[in-house]
Amino acid sequence: MLFHDWLKDESKIVLFDGGMGTELIKRGLETGKLPDLLNIEKPDIIVEIHKSYYEAGSDMCQSNTFGSTPLNLKNHSLEDKITNIIDKALDNIQKACPPGRLVVGDIGPTGEFRPPVGKATSEEWHSSFATQTRLLEKGVALFHIETISDLEEMLSAVRAVKEISDKPIIASITYKKTKRGFFTIMGDPLEKCINALENEKVDVIGANCTLGSGDMLDLAKQAVNMTELPISVKPNAGQPRIEGTKTYYDQPIEEFVRDIQDMINLGVKIVGGCCGTTPKTINGIRKIIDKI
């Protein structure tokens, strides 16, 4: 399988895609609207964004299904559209994907927290992730479980995916930087998360979102010494600047790319971008990878 070949090839740096939500906002996505719904309503835009990342040099891009768990769709009164949303998402990205590149099934958080913050149970999480996986499985080469801020929710997601599929899993948790190190918002430290994901036998351990490239570089310096598994990073393009209802990411692409170069030098295997990163960002990374 191509992804496993990439992981085994010591000379191969795998280039992921960049932000989807911020690209949709540029194209007029309304505040509060679920981006996943645009798979049905504006498929041409979704195809265009996927295509722009593949053309920029991404080895793999992820489906526009970040919010397509039943639990999250229920919050938007869209749970009855889940099959249609995911089928259209797969159709859109497959139209854009060139030969020799991969489609990644994107699985984001349910939006529901466990007590005392919320009322979600592990069983509800598991069922929701399993439903999404079942619908994605037929059209993807691997899965990216991402932007999860609770280790328990991540473990529920990993187990649900493994129950349905034997395809590879990249498990990316989102961390905040504190004076004591990197922690999830639920208080789980980086090393605990890495150890737990190793125990679940995921294929790649990742971190994405929340952190800009500079802080992600600091995290990568620690992570590469905590595991023998491949590491994936998708940092934000710096910290967001909010003006009224609009959010801006001002980090120069050159600075972001330089930090990614430093992460590659540390041994990070998969690199890409999250919020605020664009096809130009990804193309900048492509150029440095091609020089290696």
Q: Is the peptide bond before 43 cis (omega within 30 degrees of 0)?
A: no
pLDDT bucket at 29, cuts 50 / 70 / 90: confident
Q: Cα–Cα distance between 94 and 40 in angstroms, integer?
A: 15
Does residue 198 contact residue 190 with C-beta atoms inside 8 Å? no
Name the 3-class secondary structure at 147. Answer: strand
Q: What is the mean pLDDT of residues 183-193?
A: 96
CATH code, domain carrying 144 = 3.20.20.330
Q: Cα–Cα distance between 143 and 141 in angstroms, integer?
A: 7
- Torsions phi, psi for 20 (to 5 deg): -100, -50
Q: What is the pLDDT of residue 193?
A: 98
Measured N-to-C along each axis, helices 122-136 and 82-96 cross at an angle, to the nearest 10 degrees, of 50
Q: What is the pLDDT of residue 163?
A: 98
Query: Percentage of the chain with pLDDT > 90?
Result: 89
Q: Cα–Cα distance between 145 and 237 in angstroms, integer?
A: 20
Q: What is the pLDDT of residue 248?
A: 80
Name the 3-class secondary structure at 144. Answer: strand
CA terminus-to-terminus distance, the chain:
24
Instruction: Give the torsion through C-alpha atoms of 45, 47, 50, 51, to 10 deg.
Output: -110
Segment 123-167, tens digit of pLDDT = 999 999 999 999 999 999 999 999 999 999 999 999 999 999 999
Instruction: Provide the mean pLDDT of the chain.
Output: 96
Domains identified in the chain, total number: 1
Q: Cα–Cα distance between 217 and 270 in angstroms, integer?
A: 13
Q: What is the pLDDT of residue 200?
A: 98
- Is the confidence at residue 1, as pLDDT, over 80? no
Q: What is the pLDDT of residue 239?
A: 87
Does residue 260 contact residue 286 with C-beta atoms inside 8 Å? no
- Is the confidence at residue 40, as pLDDT, over 80? yes
Strands 102-107 and 60-62: parallel
Instruction: Select from 211, 206, 239 the least CA-distant residue to 107.
Output: 206
Angle at 161 between CA 158 and CA 164, to 5 degrees: 150
DSSP string for 51-98:
HHHHHHT-SEEE-S-TT-SHHHHHHTT-GGGHHHHHHHHHHHHHHHPP
CA distances from 123 to 106, 126, 130 (A): 21, 5, 10
Tokens at residue 199, please? 């125990």
Q: Among 30-34, 73-77, 121-125, 153-157, which is the least confidently predicted range? A: 30-34
pTM of the predicted protein model: 0.97
Does residue 114 contact residue 155 with C-beta atoms inside 8 Å? no
User: What region does 148 belong to: left with phi over 0, alpha with psi -120 to 50, or beta?
Assistant: beta
Q: What is the mean pLDDT of residues 71-75?
A: 96
Q: Facing residues of 172 across strands?
A: 206
Tokens at residue 217, please? 């570089």
- Torsions phi, psi for 3 (to 5 deg): -60, -45
The domain of 18 spans 2-291
Segment 224-274, tens digit of pLDDT = 999 999 999 999 999 888 887 778 888 999 999 999 999 999 999 999 999
Q: Among 4-13, 21-30, 148-157, 205-214, which is the least confidently predicted range? A: 21-30
